[in-house]
Amino acid sequence: MPSLTLRPMAPLDRDRLLAWRNDPFIVARSTSRRPVEADEHASWFARILASPDALCFIAELEGTPVGHARFERIAPETCVITAYLLPAHTGRGLGVTAIRLGCASARARWPGIRVVACVRDDNAAGRSAFVRAGFLPGAAGCCPAAHATLVLAGDAGPGAGGEGWR
């Protein structure tokens, strides 16, 4: 199987990430279910890249960018993962690898952090990827309506409120 790696997201990834975020496949699985405007994205991108409470990656397959993984700390003990691959790279277990690699990096940066995934109720493939990566159903309260709360196995504690969902 080809090798998937994560590299830190960089300023040069801004336009690539906007194009990915507005891909109909990604929009259909996003929390907002709407495309984002370039100005909105530029503001969000600058904020997230500079935030000490965010850890952002580009997933690469043999050096080719194919997806994104992001961790946002929403409380001192909790972060939320957002992850996706481009449609041509789904269904092969690469998302599971990206999730696992990202979670290891998040835990290295924030030891003891609780990792939560909020997956749309109608996104069975996304839920499957997180379960295969070691996530289990978690307590409600952290994720928006119409989303399943999944927590990385071994993490404990109550949910925390999240803001800024895209």
Q: What is the mean pLDDT of each run of 10 residues along the chain (166 residues)?
A: 90 97 91 92 97 97 96 95 94 94 96 94 93 89 88 62 33
- Other Cβ atoms less than 10 A from the Cβ of 61: the count is 21
**Domain segments of the chain: what residues?**
4-152
Residue 32: what pLDDT? 85
Alpha helices in the chain (DSSP H): 14-21, 24-27, 38-50, 94-109, 124-132
Prediction pTM value: 0.89
CATH node for 4-152: 3.40.630.30
Give the DSSP per-residue string, 88-118. Answer: GG-SSSHHHHHHHHHHHHHHHHSTT-EEEEE
Residues 135 and 150: beta-carbon distance below 8 Å? yes
Residues 11 and 49: beta-carbon distance below 8 Å? yes
